[in-house]
A and B are shown apart, each in its own frame.
Chain A
Amino acid sequence: AQKVTQAQTEISVVEKEDVTLDCVYETRDTTYYLFWYKQPPSGELVFLIRRNSFDEQNEISGRYSWNFQKSTSSFNFTITASQVVDSAVYFCALSENDYKLSFGAGTTVTVRA
């Protein structure tokens, strides 16, 4: 069974628009970790955030923010005032044992100038 679902395959926005990426996960564990990674065209996965299941506080880092809602098993990611350099594939991932990541299929974000 798929553990991480990213329902949006592709999102296209104009520069300066906000974009929200959805992530829904499935686990029976009470302790788990959630991640977001960015994969630019170069192919390297870039770590963005790690959140454990006991910390439901939302987080903001510059133009990035994350909304973790345990009640709906969601960990959504928002890019505010998008820029062309934000164009990439974004992956949400779940880890139930703090080392093995189960990735979603990814959302391709295209930011047009």
Chain B
Amino acid sequence: GAGVSQTPSNKVTEKGKYVELRCDPISGHTALYWYRQSLGQGPEFLIYFQGTGAADDSGLPNDRFFAVRPEGSVSTLKIQRTERGDSAVYLCASSLIRGSEAFFGQGTRLTVV
């Protein structure tokens, strides 16, 4: 595709359930980032992938959050035992190489009820 694609665009889940959020980066982009944006706030960094490996996961809030990028392209952010405080828009971005312009997707709005 032409841009970063995130699915689903909206996800409503019950407290305690497991969710997966998918990110399709721009083809050929080696760097991939996940951010979380709460209402009225700027995005907060979660994790950065260079290729298949998580180069920096310092932003993941706790061990309920995990992300993978097994083939160096598509990435999945996984959240276990969701809590109401996890409700936010989860943004994915990719860049050709680390430090080059990052292109963001439109995000997945997660609501935990």
CB-defined interface of B23-54 with A at 8 Å, one 1/0 digit per residue? 00000000101010000111111001000000
Q: Report, as a range, how many residues of chain B touch the other chain.
A: 20 to 34
A104 touches B42 (CB 8 A): yes
Residue from the list A33, A45, A99, A106 in contact with B104, Cβ < 8 A: A45
Complex CA–CA separation, A101 to B44 (angstroms): 8
A44 touches B44 (CB 8 A): no
Residue from the list B56, B98, B103, B107 in contact with A47, Cβ < 8 A: B103
A43 touches B107 (CB 8 A): yes
Which residues of chain A come closer than 8 Å to B35, judged between CB atoms? Answer: 101
B89 touches A101 (CB 8 A): no
Q: Report, as a range, how many residues of chain A touch the other chain.
A: 20 to 34
Residue A66, interface by CB 8 Å: no
B42 touches A106 (CB 8 A): yes
Closest chain-B Cβ to A108's Cβ sits at a distance in Å of 9
A50 touches B101 (CB 8 A): yes
Closest chain-B Cβ to A10's Cβ sits at a distance in Å of 11
Complex CA–CA separation, A47 to B102 (angstroms): 7
Q: Considering the complex, which residues of chain A in the window 23-47 have a beta carbon less than 8 Å from any beta carbon of chain B?
A: 33, 37, 42-47
Residue from the list A46, A98, A103 in contact with B44, Cβ < 8 A: A103
Which residues of chain A come closer than 8 Å to B48, judged between CB atoms? Answer: 99-100
Which of A33, A45, A106 gathers the greatest number of chain B CB atoms within 10 Å? A45
Closest 5 CB pairs of A and B: A103-B42, A98-B99, A45-B104, A44-B106, A43-B106
B contact set with A: CB distance below 8 Å: 3, 31, 33, 35, 40-45, 48, 55-56, 59, 89, 91, 93, 95, 98-99, 101-107
